[in-house]
């Protein structure tokens, strides 16, 4: 299996201010089943975070809705005071009334409350990167983004990102605030937000693909993904991450896990160099 460190995939500078290694860590799974409640082993969750930092990961993505609140609390418990250069991104704008429920709430008053809660749980005076988790169809998008701009003006947010947006929504947000990142679903088998990725690449905005490891039937034995993985002494998931890293220089994958072993496998993807033919083969196929 290919092993590596996160630094081998290169770096990206968010908003011209915060430079991160392009392969980050998504902290969603440092919680219980269904992203609800406490993890099975809170100590192990902390060990995963320590190992991620040791492997060169300096970009961690979380949200107040993961747990809810549990992921942010574990990050602070494990890593605070934070090492120099570690960038922690969090999100607000989703409510969790129960397991399996993800209800948008983009009201300015809720976003202010959510931001204050994240500041407290993460034990910081200013959030490195704060992302609007999802547009709320019941609230004008301009009002939600405007609330984040106000919090930024007050010094509570350094940089602002948006998530689960269309190109039109991204344009709306950029008319209000400097958007430094977009977090949309994107992976080898689901490229529905390719237009948004292309816009980010054109304008130097970081693109954070969530659910980056979906490979589906592509990983079946004898298939093109499996063949490429064998050629690199790697796993199909590592190749899927390597494809993302080579797909665009603004791509910032954040694979998540609650296992140190799986973390090390994911970070190993940073050292895989796919050939032009391999990239073309993977880019042509779908699940």
Residues in a beta bridge with 187? 190
> 3 falls in which pLDDT band (50, 70, 90)?
low
pLDDT tens for each residue of 58-90: 999 999 999 999 999 999 999 999 999 999 999
pLDDT tens for each residue of 218-249: 778 888 899 999 999 999 999 999 999 999 99
Q: Which helix (H) or strand (E) holds 207?
A: strand 206-210
What's this model's pTM, rounded to 2 decimal places? 0.96
**pLDDT of the residue at 165:** 98
Cα distance between residue 191 and residue 49, in whole Å: 29
Looking at residue 251, the DSSP 8-state letter turns out to be B
Whose tokens are 């054109």? That residue is: 202
Lowest mean pLDDT among 20-34, 78-92, 210-224, 256-270: 210-224
Chain-centroid distance, C-alpha 218: 23
The pLDDT of 103-119, averaged and rounded, is 98
Report, in angstroms and rounded to the nearest whole number, the Rg of the chain calculated over CA atoms.
18
**pLDDT of the residue at 218:** 76
**pLDDT of the residue at 155:** 98
Catalytic residues: 66
Contact 269, 239 (CB under 8 A): yes
Percent of the chain with pLDDT over 90: 91
**pLDDT of the residue at 2:** 56
**pLDDT of the residue at 157:** 98
The pLDDT of 103-125, averaged and rounded, is 98
Query: Is 262 exposed, middle or buried, given 0-12, 13-18 or 19+ CB atoms closer than 10 A?
Result: middle
**pLDDT of the residue at 4:** 80
Domain boundaries, the chain: 6-284
**pLDDT of the residue at 216:** 73
Percent of the chain with pLDDT over 70: 98
Tokens encoding 229: 């993985």
Q: Tell me the average pLDDT of the chain.
A: 96
pLDDT tens for each residue of 150-189: 999 999 999 999 999 999 999 999 999 999 999 999 999 9
Query: Is residue 214's pLDDT more than 80?
Result: no
**pLDDT of the residue at 219:** 75
CATH, range 6-284 = 3.20.20.100
pLDDT tens for each residue of 186-205: 999 999 999 999 999 999 99
**pLDDT of the residue at 287:** 57
**pLDDT of the residue at 1:** 57
């Amino acid at each position: 299996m290919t092993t590596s460190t996160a630094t081998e995939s290169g770096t990206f500078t968010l908003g011209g201010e915060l430079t991160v290694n392009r392969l980050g860590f998504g902290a969603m799974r440092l919680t219980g089943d269904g992203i609800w409640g406490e993890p099975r082993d809170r100590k192990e969750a902390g060990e995963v975070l320590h190992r991620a930092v040791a492997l060169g990961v300096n970009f961690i993505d979380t949200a107040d809705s993961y747990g809810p609140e549990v992921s942010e609390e574990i990050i602070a418990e494990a890593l605070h005071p934070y090492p120099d250069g570690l960038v922690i991104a969090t999100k607000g704008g989703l409510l969790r009334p129960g397991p399996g429920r993800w209800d948008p709430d983009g009201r300015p008053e809720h976003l202010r409350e959510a931001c204050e809660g994240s500041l407290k749980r993460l034990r910081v005076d200013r959030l490195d990167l704060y992302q609007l988790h999802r547009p709320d169809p019941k609230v004008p998008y301009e009002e939600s983004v405007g609330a984040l701009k106000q919090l930024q003006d007050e010094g509570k947010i350094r940089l602002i990102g948006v998530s689960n947006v269309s190109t039109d929504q991204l344009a709306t947000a950029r008319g209000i605030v400097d958007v430094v990142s977009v977090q949309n679903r994107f992976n080898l088998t689901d490229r529905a937000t390719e237009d948004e990725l292309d816009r980010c690449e054109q304008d130097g905005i970081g693109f954070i693909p969530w659910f980056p490891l979906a490979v589906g039937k592509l990983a079946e034995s004898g298939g093109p993904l499996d063949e490429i993985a064998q050629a690199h002494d790697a796993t199909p998931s590592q190749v899927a991450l390597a494809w993302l890293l080579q797909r665009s220089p603004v791509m910032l994958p954040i694979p998540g896990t609650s296992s140190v072993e799986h973390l090390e496998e994911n970070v190993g993807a940073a050292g895989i160099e796919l050939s032009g033919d391999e990239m073309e083969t993977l880019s042509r196929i779908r699940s």
